[in-house]
Amino acid sequence: MDNRKTIYLFLVLIFASWIIEFFVGWKLMNWWWGTAWFAFSYPGAKPTAQFIAELGQVTRYNPGTRTYQTVSLHWTPEGVILILFAVYVFLHVVNAVWNGLLRPFFKRWQMGARRPIGDEVKKFEAAYATIAKNVLEPVSRPGKWLVVDGPGLDMRWIGYVLVIDRELLSHRYFTALLAAQLGHTNSEDRLAHRLYDMLPPTACIAGVVFGWPFAVGHVLLFPFWMWYWRARVFASDRFAVERGQGYTLARALEEIYLRVDNSTRGGRLLKPMPYVAERIHRIQRLLEQRTPGAPRII
């Protein structure tokens, strides 16, 4: 799986998102705070930033003259907007630290994820050995993986840690499903997800109504991001096919996940996960290219 082109695409998206976030954000804040929103109500209304700047005056009592004097703190509309933009940047830093660095840890803790023990380690190692054997390129493995107790049949990346449902470790399709997840360890996907999570959530765009255009870069490039993440899912499926797990992966998707995959409004154009049926169809096409005349999955 050639990741050189995909890493370039990711870099373009992440840098473009942040550039738009701050450049367009600065322009929107200048416009919003520099606009006299109450001008339609009464003549002579002042821009919001100027109104705030004029609040930067304090009244002090002068004992010598026994009078009160108004002292200006020398606030300017431009300075007010700069301070507001500094707060805007600071909130982005807080969001990035929380969602990109701290939140994955708390999410794993809330799930009750634990270290694997005994047979769980043996099952994982056996599956990994099956995937890694007889291939020319080394297969990167997770630096850390954890187990969640319960009846679930899923595995997912939370930060750089692969979290696996305990029941899935004993499932006949575990090796194939693991192969698809290892496709993410052999590409930029984990780092890409970590950096992507540092962007403000799209719901924060509502703040633009109050002069805080959070997530403007994320929202403007959102369709491209969703296309990119769907492409990464298809790429991980291709990785599994190249490791000899394609047919089994397609069966696993059909028997475990296809029946619970519901349609969404507008399809999946604005969703990071493609339909399971689409994944099975693409896997079937890859198998037919590798082995013409291979039996169809569905």
pLDDT in tens, 150-182: 999 999 999 999 999 999 999 999 999 999 999
Residue 86 confidence (pLDDT): 97
Rg of the chain's alpha carbons, rounded to an integer?
Answer: 27
1 confidence band (pLDDT: 50, 70, 90): very low
Nearest-10 crossing angle of helices 4-33, 77-97: 150
Per-residue pLDDT, 55: 74
pTM (predicted TM-score): 0.87
User: Residue 40 burial (CB < 10 Å; 0-12/13-18/19+)?
Assistant: exposed
Domain boundaries, the chain: 4-290
Whole-number average pLDDT of the chain: 89
* 8-state DSSP, 269: T
- pLDDT value at residue 73: 55
Predicted confidence band of residue 83 (pLDDT cuts 50, 70, 90): very high
pLDDT digits (tens, 9 = 90+) for 110-125: 999 999 999 999 999 9
What number is the average pLDDT over the span 71-75? 61
Q: Is 237 helix (H, G, I), strand (E, B) or coil?
A: helix
* DSSP annotation string for 220-273: HTHHHHHHHHHHHHHHHHHHHHHTT-HHHHHHHIIIIIGGG----TTTTTT-SS
Q: What is the pLDDT of residue 59?
A: 61
Task: Return the number of other C-beta atoms located less than 10 Å from residue 35's C-beta.
Answer: 14
**Residue 22: other Cβ atoms inside 10 A:** 15
pLDDT at res. 290:
77
Please tell me the distance from the alpha carbon of residue 242 to that of residue 128, in angstroms, as a whole number.
14
144: pLDDT strictly greater than 90? yes
Q: How many CB atoms lie within 10 A of CB 228?
A: 18
Render pLDDT for 181-213 as a digit per residue (tens, 0 to 9): 999 998 889 999 999 999 999 999 999 999 999
For residue 164, what pLDDT is reported?
98
